[in-house]
Structure 1
Amino acid sequence: MTVSVSPACSPRRTLTVCGGAHALHDGFTDLLNVLYPLLQAQFGLSYAAIGALKTVYSGAMASGQIPSGLLAVRLGPVRVLAAGTALIAVGYGLAGLSGSLYGVIAGLLLAGLGGSTQHPIGSSLVSAAYAGLRSRTALGTYNFTGDVGKVLLPALFAVVAAALGWQQALIIVGALAVLGAGIIMGSLRPIPLHDKAGETKSKAMAGQDRPWAYWLLFSIHIADDLVRTGFMIFLPFLLRDKGADLPTIGLGLSLLFAGGAAGKLVMGWVGDRLGVVTSVILTEVATTVLILTLLPMSLSGALVLLPAVGLMLNGTSSVLYGTIPEFVSPERRTHAFAIFYTGGSVAGATGPLLSGLLGDAVGLPIALASVACIALTTVPMVWALRPAFRDG
């Protein structure tokens, strides 16, 4: 299954609209990290319970990604992407209007299903719209836009929640999702999805199928996501323990995501010059060192360090996503992207729950140090990937 971009929809418009959708969806996902401490305070939740809430959202996102790709073939990717964005609004609106823990759980389930539409459809549209090696650059830009949303929406949510309460803040961001769905429908022309390879080989990077390399890349991605989601569960509580109030927690998350956004641009540049293997090893080792350095620091020192943590924590992902087209032929690419993002969502669903259980058992500092060390497991896997690039 692959994607054909209609001539009526230019590559630049495709990238702009898909990038905007990416910013909204990633922002909607990561503002939940501001919400979790508020829910813990209101409902008396443990770290494991917070992890379970994250599992509900990420699990719904994981289960919906491959079906979203299949549904897009029948209904069209623009309709499915817009409908998914609107479903996020329904989920957040339900959680905000109910104000109960069960309402929050149901809302996160719906919002996660809505969020499952964006990554496989958006990345496939972008990779099809840009030819040859331009595909990696375009995917890097698309990946970067997600962090723009991660910077802006959690900070906005924190300010609104501090002023009006978390329920009203969820309703307001739900209204933004409705606006986003309307923009998607109004800006993108209907774009067909096909199962035929010949229609897109001229447009997309003509990658060669290397299943072993793809699955090794997939495994690196899983480990990288386990570190990222585990760190994100604990960071708001770490900042709170250092004396941060709600707006400061929102600021800390925005600083982290701003560093992550810069990392996706910087590491794309570094990856082109140093190669995928060297750049990924650099980011993963640095991630472990920086998180361990963060633990004993004061609040002000932690806020200063967070952009660097974000740069290394998120810099790996652009390199990984942008490498998929090299290991997968065009006719298999949409399905490959869906599997890749589904794996990340499964890691995002299980990682927080496991991290939360670990945090309850051994305490936040030891649990966070353990999460940081998971990044080191990617080093031998990345090293084993070298022959795939030599063969290419």
Structure 2
Amino acid sequence: MSTLALDTPPRRDLAVITLIGAVHGVSHFFHLLLPPLFPWLMGEFGLSFTRIGLTMTVFFVVSGVGQAAAGFLVDRWGAARVLAGGITCFILAALLLATAASFPVLLLVGGLAGLGNAVFHPADFTVLNRHVSSPRLGHAFSVHGLSGNLGWALAPVFMTGIATLAGWRVAALAAALLAVLALGLLLSFRHLLADPPGHSRKAAPQGEHPLAFLTVLPVWMCFAFFFLITTAFGAIQNYAAPIIEHLYGLARPLAAGSLSAYLLGGAGGIALGGFLAKKGEHDRIIALMLGGAALLALLLATGWPPAWSIPVLMAGIGFLTGVAGPSRDLLVRRAAVGRFGEAAYGRIYGFVYSGLDAGLALAPLIFGAFMDGGQESRVLVGIALLQGVAIFTALGVGRYLPAQSGSQGASR
């Protein structure tokens, strides 16, 4: 990291972290604009699990392609403008959903929301890396991940609760209002996102082609890591409730509560992961945590645990995965800084995190077919296998990068 953010006052660090955390939470809320409404939308438009899942495939395909491009826009034009454009897309998507009259319109809603989502990771991480002091970066990434999990946790309760009381179209209008409030917050405090004095936005580091980062193996390994872990997460996010309902005979509200337990467990894990990330050895932390999560997923697949333990096991999977989150983000940062410096934050984060969207786009296609075929236990086995393979990519990145100790070392 450049020295520009090394001496930032703690109060300003806190303000930047809070603002970025708030808008990131809204972006994750809009990941789940559609899935909580699936029961209503499937009935309204006569859709199967696979067809309704296609809306999320469109969301993440658009987000993945857009995210890789958004990184260049952030490097060129700055984070505040790009984030405002993303939130505006959320507002338009929610308003379109409220008036939807056909399945193709739902696909358009997914695409528009995905376009809005595309900007957040390259913009957020560019801001945090440029504006937050090195000693507090681990905690900044922890809050960033925690706010995302809280956005995920809020969306099912918010959307389902309003849809139950007033209908799914009203729920969509309420989501639009939430995005309007987020846009107002961002515009009111946009001065916090301005580049530090003396910073010059460059299209590429001196002497480097703008796409030179694509020749670096650790960058591709980070992409593969995100692809694998988020394909697994997409399966959990979309299908955990019906899987648990079928395998363990839990009532639908209890099965849905198990998904909430997973998300809340993830939030707690991220909070702890911010402290562990300061100690360094990010690849080993990731390997240990994901290994434990994979074993718990395999245990769930057997059908052996008693029904009362399912929320606890789901919370455990979420917690272990969450602990790995801040270390994951710092590992990506090392891959970016080690060769290209801060001028390439946006494009490298944009490309690497597009692996996240690719995995989430693929998950409904693969695992929706298993669900339609009544093969719920295979979904859990697939989740465990994906997490296991992801461990090797994280360890591979660690081998290719210089050894670092703690967040301070990772920030140089």
Interval of TM-score (by shorter of Structure 1 and Structure 2): 0.7 to 0.9
Instruction: Tell me what 1:191 maps to.
Output: 194
Please point out which of 363, 366, 391 is paired with 2:375: 363
Q: Cα offset for 1:72?
A: 3.9
The 3 A distance-change label for structure 1 pair 240 and 86 is farther
Instruction: Tell me what 1:157 maps to.
Output: 159
Q: Cα offset for 1:80?
A: 2.1
8 Å contact kept, 2:27–2:148: yes
Q: Cα offset for 1:156?
A: 1.8
Q: Secondary structure at the match of 1:194?
A: coil
Instruction: Tell me what 2:238 maps to.
Output: 233
Q: Which runs of 5+ in 2 are unaligned?
A: 206-212, 405-412
Q: Distance in 2 between matches of 1:32 and 1:304?
A: 27
The 3 A distance-change label for structure 1 pair 213 and 196 is same
Q: Distance in 2 between matches of 1:313 and 1:32?
A: 24
Q: Distance in 1 between matches of 2:162 and 2:244?
A: 19
Map 1:1-392; keep pairs closer than 5 Å: 10-72=12-74, 75-189=77-191, 191-192=194-195, 194-195=201-202, 211-241=216-246, 242-245=249-252, 248=254, 250-273=256-279, 275-295=281-301, 296=303, 297=305, 300-328=308-336, 329-361=341-373, 363-388=375-400, 391-392=403-404
Q: What is the identity, as a one-letter code, of the residue corresponding to 2:399? A: P
Task: Give the stretch that moved more between structures: 85-94 or 127-136.
Answer: 127-136
8 Å contact kept, 1:82–1:182: no
Q: Distance in 1 between matches of 2:333 and 2:68?
A: 18
8 Å contact kept, 1:240–1:249: yes
Q: Cα offset for 1:71?
A: 3.4
Q: Distance in 2 between matches of 1:197 and 1:13?
A: 29
The 3 A distance-change label for structure 1 pair 284 and 184 is same
The 3 A distance-change label for structure 1 pair 196 and 39 is closer
Q: Cα offset for 1:355?
A: 1.9
The 3 A distance-change label for structure 1 pair 71 and 391 is closer
Q: Cα offset for 1:106?
A: 1.4
Percent of aligned pairs with the same amino acid: 21
The 3 A distance-change label for structure 1 pair 42 and 290 is farther
Q: When the two structures are aligned, how many residues end up with a matched partner?
A: 380
Q: Secondary structure at the match of 1:98?
A: coil
Task: Give the stretch that moved more between structures: 380-389 or 97-106.
Answer: 380-389
Q: Cα offset for 1:382?
A: 3.3
Q: Distance in 2 between matches of 1:57 and 1:197?
A: 29
Q: Distance in 2 between matches of 1:44 and 1:298?
A: 35
Could you state the TM-score of these two structures normalised by the residue count of structure 1? 0.86
Could you state the TM-score of these two structures normalised by the residue count of structure 2? 0.82
8 Å contact kept, 1:227–1:371: yes
Q: Secondary structure at the match of 1:195?
A: coil
Q: Please list every run of at least 4 consecutive aligned residues from structure 1 whose deviation after the TM superposition is greater than 6 angstroms.
A: none
Deviation by residue 1:22-50 (Cα, 9 ceiling, x = unmatched):
11111221354322344334444333223
The 3 A distance-change label for structure 1 pair 11 and 196 is farther
Q: Distance in 2 between matches of 1:157 and 1:130?
A: 34
Q: Distance in 1 between matches of 2:107 and 2:245?
A: 24
Q: What is the identity, as a one-letter code, of the residue corresponding to 2:335? A: F
Q: What is the identity, as a one-letter code, of the residue corresponding to 2:318? A: G
The 3 A distance-change label for structure 1 pair 332 and 356 is same
Deviation by residue 1:343-378 (Cα, 9 ceiling, x = unmatched):
211121122212223433462222332232221112
Q: Distance in 2 between matches of 1:376 and 1:48?
A: 26
Q: Cα offset for 1:336?
A: 0.8
Q: Which runs of 5+ in 1 are unaligned?
A: 199-207
Q: Distance in 1 between matches of 2:64 and 2:215?
A: 24
8 Å contact kept, 1:27–1:153: yes
Q: Secondary structure at the match of 2:133?
A: coil
Q: What is the identity, as a one-letter code, of the residue corresponding to 1:261? A: A
8 Å contact kept, 2:230–2:359: yes
8 Å contact kept, 1:22–1:142: yes
Q: CA RMSD in A?
A: 3.1
The 3 A distance-change label for structure 1 pair 129 and 36 is same
Q: What is the identity, as a one-letter code, of the residue corresponding to 1:354? A: I
Q: Distance in 2 between matches of 1:74 and 1:381?
A: 30
Q: Cα offset for 1:293?
A: 2.6
Q: What is the identity, as a one-letter code, of the residue corresponding to 2:194? A: I
Q: What is the identity, as a one-letter code, of the residue corresponding to 2:129? A: S
8 Å contact kept, 2:298–2:381: yes
Task: Give the stretch that moved more between structures: 145-154 or 30-39.
Answer: 30-39
